[in-house]
Amino acid sequence: MSFESDSSLPAPRISDLARADARPADYLEGLNPEQRAAVEAIEGPVLVLAGAGTGKTRVLTTRLAHILASGRARPWELLAVTFTNKAAREMRERITHIIGPSAEGLRWLGTFHSIAAQILRRHAELVGLKSNYTILDTDDQERLLKQILEAENIDSKRWPAKMLAGLIDHWKNRGWRPDQLLPAENGAFANGKGQALYRLYQERLRILNACDFGDLLLHNITIFTSQPDVLAEYHNRFRYLLVDEYQDTNVAQYLWLRLLAQKSQNLCCVGDDDQSIYGWRGAEVDNILRFERDFPGAKVVRLERNYRSTSHILAAAAGLIATNKSRLGKTLWTEAEGGEKVIVRGVWDGEAESRLIADEVERAKRAGRAYRDIAILVRASFQMRAFEERFVLLQIPYVVIGGPRFFERAEIRDAIAYLRLIQSEDDDLAFERIVNTPKRGIGDTTVQKLLQIARLNGVPASHAARQIVLTDELPARTRTALANFLRDLDRWRGQAEHIHHARLMETVLEESGYTDALKLDKSPQAQGRLENLKELVQSMGGYDDLQAYLEHVSLVMDLERGPQADSVQIMTLHQAKGLEFPLVFLPGWEEGVFPSQRSMDEKGEKGLEEERRLAYVGITRARQEARISFAANRQVYGRWTSQLPSRFVDELPPANVEASSETGYYGGGPGMQQHGSRWDNDPDFGGGYSSPGWRRAQANQYRGTHPGRQAVIEGDGRLVAVSESSAASAYKRGDRVFHLKFGYGSVKGVEGNKLTVSFDKAGEKKVIDSFVEKA
């Protein structure tokens, strides 16, 4: 072992090392042998295969603490990378807990993107950017691409900007710059224009002094490979590298890591190949599968002792994942023998499923379980609605995790756009967004004209605007409006220098008329928007300057939430990764839904394996009870479809499962032979004849007892209860109802205690006035 010399730093003292080696510190106590091995294997490449619930975070943090406490490196010489801000935050907190305030020196602990952004700020000019570059999000990215497509006269119906954005993202994830595209890739868009468009896009980004998420990494790679001295600087800086969730890294991230680790080789990657569920976003399971070949001499440590789940749950999950071929292989074990078997149930339809689960939630609650200990994990978000409706009806408190995130809300993006434009006049995307928000009489025609002039002269749109207000090209009214807008901008820009940006934000929102416009807005969302803006201003307080805040906004798309009320958690399987709950419901295990048909169509066997890992992630979230369910009939986009139980149901080891079915159908049976259930001949599961048509008929009969849409509204327009109607679900009890939308028809107001609903479908206007009855 040798320490690289770094002139700026004194070498660690030998006495510190000796002491650390002789007597293990407190923080090592309580680790099991495999965890300890993972903590102490410090030099050289290390792969820690950390199964679900094996204490990974503890190992990660202890390892960092150990490196620091043993004097091998100082906090700022460690590079620790995570995928999410949440993970980074958690790691920092836990290290602080072990080593105290010196953890603040860990300035290179963060997400791939935030660290890459920091590095890029220091060397931006090497890739043609200024150090105050803006980071565009997906929305900006798509708008920019749309403009390019329009300029290139490409039919944006046939070749949507979204698709191109996805492709460019994919290319960047693979580490390909425009000139590095393989010919085959080029053909993927607009008959071979992909590469040219990608190049145009990159040029536009450079002019806008902006980059997208993929660029952060890619520019880093460009800098490292073209400027050996810069890379050497980071080689000296980062003595030990640590990566969390290695199974989720994409090629670009892999290349970035390999470049940074290539000298010291002190790279520790922690991950679980069985929990790789982000392939569709560019993650390469191959990275983790190949680790030992990529880094010769690597140590591999397996964490296999599970502290989370009971043995039935663990065994069920293990049996399922064993079907996958591409995996490194682990055998999780636990001392918590026994417990409940995994319950698998077949029900008639989605409604029955949500009824069943809601009933069980209530039962669990009566038995003393807190709501917050219960999670419902779905494959796709459209499955959530059924549960929400049921829970609203039964007044079971719930939270839907996810949904549009704070910084993606329109009002927040508008507010931020003002700041961006104040910060950087070149930010045409921000200009375009807010030049007429709130409405100030600068219409589409005017904006297009401005953009055209801007592009023609190669200047930012705000410059073009400045020029045009001096001429009489615009109608007088529009010209005044634009001139006022520019004048306001200048004033704010002047203020930005001497007032705090939170104060500036308030001023801008007031003076631009943004808050006034919202106050006048009678729609039910307006109030919430105003509150969001208040929250925004509040959140700005913690940042030193505008630039730091804007970077935070681009890279940290979430806002820390206060402690949640006691509610059932509804979320997707993807969102559940890293979490655990005593009781987990896993609904919708039907072929085509889960595993998702689209995954299988698009990615074949690989896609199926990823779906199976998702199922594995789902089951392993459960501490004590996991309950899987599938419906024989399900409404998908309004159409009734017969469903087959997911193949994953069949793959669960029967010994760890307790199965029943109210449909009399479970797995195979005559007419379903092709399904090949393991339980085909098991009378316990009722193998009786059940054709899809027969089951559908049963379901329809059943459904007849549950009339559809009904909303109960008080005379003053407050919603008292909603039936299982989907459209009404957007409203909560107590909301004032102004406008309810039902498909093609809409409810426009309240008269007495009745709602009038007008439908306009196929040219025919109908008025239904018995839609609502008083509670």
Question: Which residues are the active-site residues?
Answer: 56-57, 244-245, 275, 621
| 349 touches 568 (CB < 8 A) | no
Chain positions 494 to 513 lying near DNA, rule: CB under 7 A, are: none
**352 marked as part of a ligand binding site:** no
The reply on whether position 572 binds DNA by CB under 7 A is: yes
Task: State yes or no: 51 annotated in a binding site.
Answer: yes
Looking at the DSSP bridge assignments, the partners of residue 271 are 49
Confirm whether residue 754 is marked as ligand binding.
Answer: no
Residues touching DNA, count (CB under 7 A): 57
List the interface residues with DNA, window 143-162 (CB under 7 A). Answer: 156-157
- Residue 320 near residue 628 (C-beta atoms within 8 A): no
- Out of 83, 295, 398, 581, name the contact with DNA by CB under 7 A: 83
Rounded to a whole number of angstroms, the minimum distance from the CB of residue 557 to DNA is: 5
What are the Cα distances from residue 115, in Å, to 81, 214, 268, 663, 691?
8, 13, 17, 54, 57
Distance in Å, CB of 664 to DNA, minimum: 28
> Distance between CA atoms of 571 and 548, rounded to whole angstroms?
31
545 binds DNA (CB under 7 A): no
Among 34, 77, 137, 590, binds DNA (CB under 7 A): 137
The only residue of 227, 445, 660, 700 in contact with DNA, by rule CB under 7 A: 445
Amino acid identity of 74? R
Pick the piece of the chain touching DNA (CB under 7 A) from 356-364, 595-603, 684-692, 695-703. Answer: 595-603
* Joined tokens for residue 657: 């499962």
Window contacting DNA (CB under 7 A); options: 92-100, 223-231, 616-624, 633-641 = 633-641
Q: H or E element: which one contains 356?
A: helix 350-366
Q: What is the DSSP letter of 722?
A: E
Tell which residue, 389, 320, 381, has the closest CA to residue 353: 389
SS3 of residue 767 by DSSP: strand
Q: Is 474 in the site for DNA (CB under 7 A)?
A: no
Vertex 426: Cα angle to 424 and 432 (nearest 5): 100
Q: Please report whether residue 442 would count as binding DNA according to CB under 7 A.
A: yes
Q: In the bound complex, what is the minimum distance in angstroms from residue 754's beta carbon to DNA?
A: 20
Binding DNA (rule: CB under 7 A), the pick from 35, 61, 70, 85 is 85
Does residue 599 touch DNA according to CB under 7 A? yes
Nearer to DNA, 13 or 281 (CB): 281
At position 226, the amino acid (one-letter code) is S
Binding flag, residue 742, DNA (CB under 7 A): yes
Phi, psi of 744 (to 5 degrees): -80, -10
Q: For residues 266 and 239, is the Cβ–Cβ distance under 8 A?
A: yes
CA angle in degrees (0–180, nearest 5) for 373-379-380:
110
Query: Tokens in use for 582?
Result: 């005593």
Is 55 annotated as belonging to a binding site?
A: yes
Closer CB to DNA, residue 107 or residue 439? 439
Structure tokens at 369: 């379980």
Instruction: Answer yes or no: is 620 a known binding residue.
Output: no
Does 381 help bind DNA (rule: CB under 7 A)? yes
Query: Can you tell me the distance from the alpha carbon of 568 to that of 579, in angstroms, rounded to the nearest whole number?
Result: 14
* Choices 125-133, 228-236, 556-564, 696-704; region in contact with DNA by CB under 7 A: 556-564
Cα angle vertex 389, ends 341, 532, to 5°?
110
Residue 56 among known ligand-binding residues: yes
Cα gap 641→699, rounded to integer Å:
11
Q: Is 50 annotated as a binding residue?
A: yes
Q: Residues 1-30: x/- map of binding to DNA (CB under 7 A)?
A: ------------------------------
Q: Which residues contact 184 (CB under 8 A, 6 or more apart)?
A: none
Q: Which residues bind DNA (CB under 7 A)?
A: 83-86, 111-114, 137-138, 156-157, 213, 280-281, 379-382, 402, 405, 436, 439, 441-446, 478, 555-558, 571-572, 574-575, 596, 598-599, 602, 607, 611, 637-639, 725-727, 730, 741-744, 760, 763
Which residues define the annotated binding site for ATP?
50-57
